[in-house]
Structure 1
């Protein structure tokens, strides 16, 4: 029986699960709503129960949160587990756990052009750092660092969603002041995320809605929702430019996450690219950086599949 590895990308809202063989390509992909399960153990137990005798030998899980010990806690969901205990519960010989955007970064070099939407001009410099960031339930960041021998990249995880958000315009100052009175010091992901989009629309338009509804209305040309999305993308552009300068990501910037993918058609006509480049005295530098939006439906699984491929090669 061909060995397989269990793959998962565990987000705050949903979990994408698959298996892979030695090529690392995910198959039997399923997307599960986290609200349908009481725990990580229950979710994966239900998946494994459908497989019959062909059980995975090991697992690679990406989680939306920092990974710095065997005790793992999701940032935007009240789920936690111990890596060793979960491996035993699921019958896995080994379980690797990594941050979701670190996992996503592992998959970026494998993305085909059909899964990328370029925003503006610019070009990627070969064997230079690559920034991966973007909004979903939170906002994730990771950096691909080229190896000295030019045989692939190492991934540096980050928690850029939790840096403090500053204001450049009076409109942004109003948003931050409003949220500051509710939340205290405002972090980037409290505005640049799915829940952040809801907060932003409530402040700017005086309406309460869901992030999918706001995005769909903007795509349909509804003025208030479109304006909210443009403010959102302006902020995202500025923050992505900040992060790009921090990492000197001349290899390119990849905007990922479910909210980023859903907004992909809105980027071109939005202030995103202007805000990305507007970092004096580095305008010309940033104007040369290639920015692409990732629209693959399960990019995190591509990343954990690449990690899984290397694990299976050692079995």
Structure 2
């Protein structure tokens, strides 16, 4: 019987690692900057050395990239691994690997009111599909399909659809990005690096995404204007996706960028842009949108999967 499961949410910028027991509650939680480690194996070795204790016998990992088999490659970082080989290296009898937003979707039903910030009105339709989509290093997407007391998670790579302009400033943004990047996907705009690009185009100033958000939270200046443009575009895209997925069960918006901007959503054009999809504005007005402010939602998702994995190994 495996007594604990190793959890990991492996992003493009940082990795969150923890253990969990049969109750599914993460402990020994650590957040590691990926730049501090040459490989995943080195990162996990550092975690075990820092936390000590018996090694887990099972693992559930979420990765920021598609998972179509045993060969896994991150989208926004030059890391790749073989699931069986990594399991052997870490001494894991069982290792399950999921796309990070698939794991996030598994965690959505476990989130409490304190983990969410609702933006605007709307009330979930019981049993209707749920959209999980949000900006971090990239723009992740997944769909949650309830089936009575259970649910099915459908992966998606919606962040890589092509970006289109609706307003004049968006046309300017798109023109700049096409010149610099070629074909422009949605996550080129709606991500941490996308926020940096937006601010350079709109304000002519090169700042980190963290600096832009910090300034926007305390003053009504160009940084807040950039964040409002970002949130307006995010609202429009999530409205598009909510119609595509018929997500009347609600829209959940995780990701480091979204969480950092959480208190900017209400005063921004986000919700107006989300609903502005005639002839279905009234339909979207009924869809609730929630920013996920849980500090480690990816671990909440891997823990939910890990609890079931431990039960199956008992």
TM-score tier, shorter chain, comes to over 0.9
Q: Secondary structure at the match of 1:49?
A: helix
Partner of 2:48: 48
Partner of 1:314: 312
- Deviation for aligned residue 1:222: 3.9
* Structure 2: runs of 5 or more not aligned: none
d(CA) in 1 for partners of 2:77, 2:109:
29
TM-score w.r.t. the length of structure 2 is: 0.98
Partner of 2:235: 237
Partner of 1:75: 75
Return the match for 2:256 from 258, 277, 290.
258
Partner of 2:32: 32
Bigger Cα displacement from structure 2, 53-62 vs 171-180: 53-62
d(CA) in 2 for partners of 1:42, 1:52:
15
Q: Any conservation in 1 of the 2:253–2:292 contact (CA below 8 Å)?
A: yes
- Deviation for aligned residue 1:51: 4.3
- Deviation for aligned residue 1:45: 1.4
- Deviation for aligned residue 1:48: 2.0
Q: How do residues 160-179 of structure 1 correspond to structure 2 at under 5 angstroms? A: 160-179=158-177
Partner of 1:211: 209
d(CA) in 2 for partners of 1:55, 1:247:
41
Bigger Cα displacement from structure 2, 222-231 vs 42-51: 42-51
- Deviation for aligned residue 1:185: 1.1
d(CA) in 2 for partners of 1:153, 1:61:
20
Partner of 2:110: 110
- Deviation for aligned residue 1:2: 7.0
d(CA) in 1 for partners of 2:215, 2:50:
38
* Structure 1: runs of 5 or more not aligned: none
Q: Secondary structure at the match of 1:146?
A: strand
Q: How do residues 1-315 of structure 1 correspond to structure 2 at under 5 angstroms? A: 3-147=3-147, 150-315=148-313
TM-score w.r.t. the length of structure 1 is: 0.98
- Deviation for aligned residue 1:125: 1.1
